[in-house]
């Protein structure tokens, strides 16, 4: 991964576990390549709101017979949704600045399907197939983006700001190395019976 020149010296001195904590997975690594003003947690939250708003154009067209009415209501909802995501991003950054919390991996298996589920519920409600409480579908739509920003990106952005200042954000933190991995033969030691079982599995 490429870093700005002012980052290179500090990043090179970081332990691998700290580098992984700083840059995270593929999504966070993409955001970390952006200028800090652009990757502000509020902007990332608003970007999530923008993406969800684009996906809601078709459900809004289904709900209203008049195309102008559909787009006017969609624009109003999109503005509110993006503003809510932006404000939640600001709130997350304030909380992280106070608590100094480190990034936490969000529960992807729970959060990633939620936008699709929320759009599906909203589409079913708008098309009058089933009656879904609007609060439920909106909560399912809203949660994933702000949750990712709060758990992962806002703390990571705070660390990147320190890095941008030429500081090591992990000073005083011990890098916990992973326990060494041993082969089955090494674990078996001189236990002949266990070695025979290992050899049997390997032959299969």
Give the chain's domain count: 1
Residues near 109 by beta carbon (within 8 Å), at least 6 away in sequence: none
pLDDT in the model for residue 180: 44
pLDDT in the model for residue 193: 53
- Give domain status of residue 188, yes or no: no
Lookup result for tokens 């708008």? 126
Token couple for 137: 């579908």
Token couple for 25: 């997975």
- Give domain status of residue 90, yes or no: yes
- Give domain status of residue 193, yes or no: no
Per DSSP, 178 falls in state P
Q: What's the chain's Rg over C-alpha atoms?
A: 24
Could you list the residue range(s) of the whole structural domain that residue 28 is in? Answer: 5-179
- Full-model pTM: 0.76
- Give domain status of residue 184, yes or no: no
Give the whole-angstrom CA distance, residue 10 versus residue 168.
Answer: 6
- Give domain status of residue 20, yes or no: yes
pLDDT in the model for residue 23: 74
- Give domain status of residue 197, yes or no: no
What string of pLDDT tens digits covers the 204 residues of the chain?
444 445 656 666 666 676 677 777 778 888 888 898 999 999 999 999 999 999 888 888 888 878 888 899 999 999 999 999 999 999 999 999 999 888 888 888 888 899 989 888 887 887 777 777 878 888 999 999 999 999 999 999 998 888 888 777 776 655 444 444 444 444 445 544 544 544 554 454
- Give domain status of residue 203, yes or no: no
Contact (Cβ atoms closer than 8 angstroms) between residue 10 and residue 115 = no
């Amino acid at each position: 991964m490429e870093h700005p020149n002012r980052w290179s010296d500090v990043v090179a001195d970081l332990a691998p576990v700290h580098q992984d904590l700083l840059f995270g997975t593929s999504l966070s690594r993409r955001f970390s390549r952006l200028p800090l003003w652009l990757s502000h947690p509020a902007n990332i939250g608003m970007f999530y709101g923008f993406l969800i708003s684009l996906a809601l154009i078709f459900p809004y067209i289904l709900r209203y017979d008049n195309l102008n009415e559909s787009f006017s209501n969609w624009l109003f909802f999109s503005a509110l949704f993006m503003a809510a995501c932006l404000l939640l991003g600001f709130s997350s950054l304030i909380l992280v600045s106070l608590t100094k919390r480190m990034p936490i991996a969000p529960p992807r298996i729970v959060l990633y399907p939620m936008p699709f589920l929320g759009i599906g519920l909203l589409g079913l409600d708008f098309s009058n197939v089933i009656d879904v409480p609007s609060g439920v579908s909106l909560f399912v739509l809203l949660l994933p983006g702000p949750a990712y920003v709060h758990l992962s990106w806002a703390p990571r952005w705070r660390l990147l700001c320190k890095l941008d200042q030429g500081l090591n954000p992990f000073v005083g933190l011990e890098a916990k190395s992973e326990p060494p991995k041993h082969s089955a033969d090494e674990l078996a030691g001189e236990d002949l019976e266990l070695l025979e079982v290992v050899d049997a599995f390997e032959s299969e």
